[in-house]
Amino acid sequence: MNLAQQLINGIVLGHAYALIAIGWTVLLGVARLVNFGHGQMYMLGAFVTWYTVSRLGLPYLVAVPAAMLAGVAVGYVMQRVMLQLTLKQDLVSIMIVTLGFGYVLNGAAALVFGSTGQILETPLSRLDIYWGDLWLTWQDVALVVAAIVFFIVLKYVIDHTAVGRTARMVAEDPPLALLAGINVKKVYLGVFAFEGAAVALAAALVAPRTPILTSMGFDEVIVTFVVVVLGGIGSVLGSYFAGLALGLFTAFFGALVSPAYTTAAAFLVMIAMLVLRPGGFAAAPGSR
């Protein structure tokens, strides 16, 4: 086994995980919401990208925003449907509704895109980089760079802009936010739209690494779950480091032990973390 190669794999995988999870992190942090249709939204993002590139013949750079737009639409509709549940913070119903929504997306996608596997090729995914006996693609580089830029911008927006302050107010105390003149419903809709856009962006960048199927989504929602919990619920920086850690763990565990047990091992680590450090990586009060 080549340690340096596993390090590269882990770093790429880690940034993929962080990017896949970030929408849910913000959703949970700001709106105290969960979305078990997250994985299917990832699938939809991947297929919209694929369709735009392979069927419509449009450039990848057009396909990425197209997928994000589809994500925004789905997120918005989903939140519109369950706004009353959100306002009541009825988490159990929200869990079931989002899970159901995922299955609807799954079925609709199979109907539209067919149930055979596809390869999402981008101009970058075929461009290899060799460095000694190390290998990665330009798609991997793009993914890592995009993830880092995305996290930096997001962190800045949350900490230092009016939009971020509004989101933080709603996150802490929705009734008090109303008294500050904030349209809380609009923030909830916006957060879900953001979640849709973020997971679609992740899909457009990450999905070219593996064949895509309309039945996928389960692995992605599990990864998201682990990252969000490890990172400290709602923490942006925590999610970044949790994603990176999970990526490195997966790469090295897969190489050193066996890829078959990676998910089980990742959950063991998560359970241990939850017991030993219940706040996740970002356990400091008020951090995000």
Residue numbers at the binding site for another protein (CB under 8 A): 162, 165-166, 168-169, 171-173, 175-184, 285-286
**Amino acid (one-letter) located at 152:** I
**Rounded to whole angstroms, how far apart are CA atoms 232 and 239?**
7
Nearer to another protein, 128 or 159 (CB): 159
- Phi (first) and psi of residue 128, to 5 degrees: -85, 150
Q: How many DSSP H helices and E strands does the chain contain?
A: 12, 2
Least separation in angstroms between CB 91 and another protein: 18
Least separation in angstroms between CB 175 and another protein: 5
Least separation in angstroms between CB 103 and another protein: 32
Least separation in angstroms between CB 235 and another protein: 12
Least separation in angstroms between CB 249 and another protein: 30
Please say whether the beta carbons of 12 and 136 come within 8 A: yes
Beta bridge partners of 129: 136
**Rounded to whole angstroms, how far apart are CA atoms 154 and 94?**
25
3-class secondary-structure state, position 136: strand
**Rounded to whole angstroms, how far apart are CA atoms 200 and 232?**
23
Inter-CA distances, 27 with 53, 69, 134, 157, 191, Å: 29, 18, 37, 15, 6
Instruction: For residue 195, give the nearest of 92, 65, 74 by alpha carbon.
Output: 74
Nearer to another protein, 253 or 281 (CB): 281
Nearer to another protein, 65 or 279 (CB): 279
Least separation in angstroms between CB 180 and another protein: 5
Nearer to another protein, 184 or 206 (CB): 184
With b for 16 or more beta-carbon neighbours within 10 A and e for fewer, the 187-204 pattern comes to bbbbbbbbbbbbbbbbbb
Least separation in angstroms between CB 169 and another protein: 6
Nearer to another protein, 128 or 173 (CB): 173
Helices (H), the chain: 3-31, 38-50, 60-81, 83-88, 91-113, 138-160, 162-172, 174-179, 184-206, 218-231, 236-256, 262-276
Please say whether the beta carbons of 196 and 75 come within 8 A: yes
Nearer to another protein, 173 or 219 (CB): 173
Least separation in angstroms between CB 231 and another protein: 17
Dig out the tokens for 253 from the structure.
């565990």
